[in-house]
Amino acid sequence: MPRKRRYGITSAMRYQLKAYRVHKIDGIPEDLANLVALNQTMAWSTGFGMFHRVWENVVKRVLQELKVGKIYWGLYRAFTCQVLSKTVEKKTEEIDLVIRKFANLGLDIDVLRAIVNAIQQAEIGLIPATHEESSEVSGAGGGAGGV
C-alpha cells in the first residue's frame, strides 16, 4: 500500500527546498532564487490550507454523520474541491451547476447539498447561500453513497 501523504510540520520547508532547487540555476542570483522559492511556498501553503481545512473539518464530519461508505469519499472529495475551485477561487460556475454535474454522475444529491450547506455554515462568506433547492437533477436520490 502506498504511503499516505500528509501535510506536516516539515512539509512547507521541504516544498521550499524543492522550489529553491528548481529556481537556482546558472545565472540566477541566489537571493532571488530564495525569494521566489519563499513566495512560491507561501502561495502553496495558502491554497493547500483552504482545501485541506474544509475537507478535514467540515466534509468528513458530514460524510460520517450521513454514514456514507468510505469507498465513496474520494468522489465527494472531488466534489468538494470542484466546489471550492469553481465557485470560490475562480468564480466560473454556479454552485447549482456543480451539484447537478456530480448528481448526474450518480452521487446522492442530498449528500451533495448537505456538504454545501455545511461549508456555508462553517465558512462564513466562503460560498454564498443562494443555491436553489431544485430537484431537476436526473439521478437524484438513491445515488452512490446514499444513506
CA-based Rg of the chain, rounded to a whole angstrom? 19
pLDDT one-digit tens code per residue, 5-33: 677 778 888 888 888 988 888 888 999 98
pLDDT one-digit tens code per residue, 83-98: 999 988 888 999 999 9
Q: What CATH number belongs to 11-122?
A: 1.20.58
Length of the chain: 147
Residue 68, exposed/middle/buried by CB under 10 A (0-12, 13-18, 19+)? buried
pLDDT greater at residue 37 or residue 62: 62
Q: Supply the pLDDT for residue 138.
A: 44
